[in-house]
Structure 1
Amino acid sequence: MTTRLQPNPEAEAVVAALGFASVYDDFVARLQALDAGKVTPRVGEAFPNFSLPDASGRYRSIRQLQDGGPIVISFNRGLWCPFCVHELQSWAAALPALERVGGRLIVVAGEIGEGASAIQAIIGPKATLLCDVDHGAALACGLSFPVGEEMKRRYLEIELDLAAIYGSDGGFLPIPATFILGKDGTIGYAHIDPDFRLRPDPRDVVALLGAMR
């Protein structure tokens, strides 16, 4: 059982200052009505063994990174999202505890170049960022959806160009998600919610992984 990561005042302030609180409410309602994130890897299933470049451009596979131990995989929208930054920082603080229970963190995000390097700097050298170019892995896992022209317009109005951030104008965004994989790659825990403002507390995820060992 995991609890919600407590809201970050800075993230909430950014959203309020941009006048996006109601915009996000409507956006999340649309995703929920479309059943976004309903067809994804589930607990008890084997997680897909995809390969993606890390922040340095070296291709790494899930099984290679797992190396016979349990891992946590976190799908993240990127540094442009204040909720994601808060989650990344929370994971960075939880990494010593994750290491003590034998786990490792893998963050999957669509950002490339300097954005990827910045994410890697937040999570530190003991965690790994995988660059999900064109959101291919998120799409394969049922975690990606079309952002829609209206939302793209809203973002552009605040000078947030997703095409420039992701290096692609595909118009997709990932649903943030957290998975715990056992030593054999089987999913032991999954948190998927189209409401990207809601994330599990990393401390609870670490405790759950420890209890699974």
Structure 2
Amino acid sequence: MSRLIDSINKYQEDFRKRVPENLQETMLNATQKLKEQKLSKNALKVSDIAKDFTLKNAINKDVNLNKLLEENEFVVLNFYRGAWCPYCNLELKAFESINEQLLNKKAKLIAISPQTPDASLTTKEKNELSFEVLSDTDNKIAKEYGLVFSLADELKPIYEKFGIDIVGSNNDDTFNLPMPATYVINKNKEILYAFIDEDYTSRSEPQEILDIISKNQ
């Protein structure tokens, strides 16, 4: 299995070649400031009980966590920023590569972002995803999981320069986003695995998800 970190490193190498150094420095500084806030310490962690939710999927149908856990042994819950985020797209594609293995282990994979259902449908089609992509309006569920932060003001003009329309994608002008996070939840709603990082370039490795599920079968 190819590693997600290798895809991320390749993307970053290309990014450093094509983006002006002053913009890179601004982005790195903003990430460092966010890391210094240590917001992840307030997020749900291993041994915590997962919060139930009902959210709309890409075709506007309700998906409920409790019901998924009734039908499956595990739920893998991934919070991502949006289709505009290249790291999120790399991550979603990497998760798609293990989805069949997860299903064989009776594990249901779902991804959540603050995007509208239409934007989520675009994400699902763009990345050819076979798992559910849910819309967390106003980051309501991400807040309950302790994952939300506000995009730094100095990043807004940079994102605009990149053609990123967060307000349009989310139908929300707060610029609130979830930190990258991945959870493995068992039938008792207990969190068996939790990955949360203030650094949006850092992501959970799919193999870790498979390993933790195998250990708990």
Instruction: Please state if 1:149 is matched with 2:153.
Output: yes
Tell me the equivalent position of 1:85: 89
Instruction: Please state if 1:200 is matched with 2:204.
Output: yes
1:11 is displaced (CA, Å) by 5.5
Instruction: Give the Cα–Cα distance (whole angstroms) in 2 for the partners of residues 60 and 104 of structure 1.
Output: 12
Structure 2 counterparts to residues 29-48 of structure 1, below 5 A: 29-48=32-51
Q: Secondary structure at the match of 2:167?
A: helix
Instruction: Please state if 1:49 is matched with 2:46.
Output: no
1:12 is displaced (CA, Å) by 4.5
More helix by proportion, 1 or 2?
Answer: 2
Tell me the equivalent position of 1:25: 28
1:118-177 deviation line (CA, Å, top 9, x unaligned): 22233633x211101121111221101111322212212333221012111012111010
Instruction: Give the Cα–Cα distance (whole angstroms) in 1 for the partners of residues 204 and 212 of structure 2.
Output: 11
**CA RMSD in angstroms, aligned pairs only:** 1.9
1:16 is displaced (CA, Å) by 4.6
Q: Secondary structure at the match of 1:160?
A: coil
- Given residue 13 of structure 1, which amino acid in structure 2 is its aligned partner? D
Instruction: Give the Cα–Cα distance (whole angstroms) in 2 for the partners of residues 80 and 113 of structure 1.
Output: 15
- Given residue 62 of structure 1, which amino acid in structure 2 is its aligned partner? L
Alpha-carbon contact 2:56-2:117 (below 8 Å) kept:
no
Unpaired runs of 5+ in structure 1? none
TM-score by length of 1: 0.90
Return closer, same or farther for 1:67/1:14 CA change in 2, 3 Å cut-off. farther
Unpaired runs of 5+ in structure 2? none
Tell me the equivalent position of 1:6: 6
Q: Secondary structure at the match of 2:76?
A: strand
- Given residue 136 of structure 2, which amino acid in structure 1 is its aligned partner? D
Structure 2 counterparts to residues 140-179 of structure 1, below 5 A: 140-179=144-183
Q: Aligned match of 2:66 in 38, 41, 63?
A: 63
Q: How many residues are paired up?
A: 210
Return closer, same or farther for 1:191/1:123 CA change in 2, 3 Å cut-off. farther
Return closer, same or farther for 1:144/1:12 CA change in 2, 3 Å cut-off. farther
TM-score by length of 2: 0.88
Instruction: Please state if 1:116 is matched with 2:116.
Output: no
Instruction: Give the Cα–Cα distance (whole angstroms) in 2 for the partners of residues 185 and 123 of structure 1.
Output: 29
Alpha-carbon contact 1:14-1:82 (below 8 Å) kept:
no
- Given residue 19 of structure 2, which amino acid in structure 1 is its aligned partner? L
Instruction: Give the Cα–Cα distance (whole angstroms) in 2 for the partners of residues 6 and 185 of structure 1.
Output: 32
Instruction: Give the Cα–Cα distance (whole angstroms) in 2 for the partners of residues 21 and 73 of structure 1.
Output: 30
Alpha-carbon contact 2:81-2:180 (below 8 Å) kept:
yes
